[in-house]
Amino acid sequence: MSFMLIQTPNPLTLRDALPNFSKITHIFLPINDCCNPSVAEGGSHWSLLVVSIVDGVAFHYDSLHPSNKDEAVTTTKNLETLLGRKLQFLDLVDSPQQENSSDCGVFVCVEMKHLLLKKLLSTPNKEQINMSMGGKNVDAPHGRKEMLRVIEGFRKEGERRRS
């Protein structure tokens, strides 16, 4: 979705291809720095944009800050057009930083899980949520193992259903 938003000159043309956002509170958008739509495996870095529709804020988490800031800003502006409302863009410079050039995708997955389970779903409805990831340690090797475990679980479930 974020790639379509970045590449499309008029985001309103995407309305029929995207979900109805009227009853959604948050959108999680992995952001990639690929600028060539004809290269499926293009790009070299992933970051995360979490848009709080209810608060009108787009939070950007980049583990190689500020690598994907331009892509995240463009996605936010085009999402504003699609949603018909202004969004405040917050580039969270306190996001956990990776120590190599290969963990960005793992960081995005671990951050999504943490933000969803530990922040959004565990905070009472009327309470304000601190969306900062400052001080959060991302253990990439553990994250990779957990992702593999989840994938293996889905594979086994698929086998079980086919038999």
Cis peptide before 66 (omega within 30 of 0): yes
| Residue 11 DSSP symbol | G
Q: Across the strands, what pairs with 32? A: 46
- For residue 45, indicate whether it is catalytic: yes
> Quick one: tokens of 134?
């400052």
Task: Describe the crossing of helices 104-113 and 140-162 by its angle, rounded to 10 degrees.
Answer: 70
Choosing from 33, 60, 62, 91, which is the catalytic residue? 62
Which residue is catalytic, options 60, 91, 103, 104?
104
Q: For 27-71, how does the pLDDT look when each residue is reduced to its tens digit (9 = 90+)?
A: 999 999 987 777 777 788 999 999 999 899 999 999 999 999 999
**pTM of the shown model:** 0.89
**Is 34 among the catalytic positions?**
no
Position 135 scores a pLDDT of 86
Q: Which of 34, 45, 60, 91 is catalytic?
A: 45
CA distances from 43 to 29, 64, 107, 121, 146 (A): 16, 14, 16, 32, 24
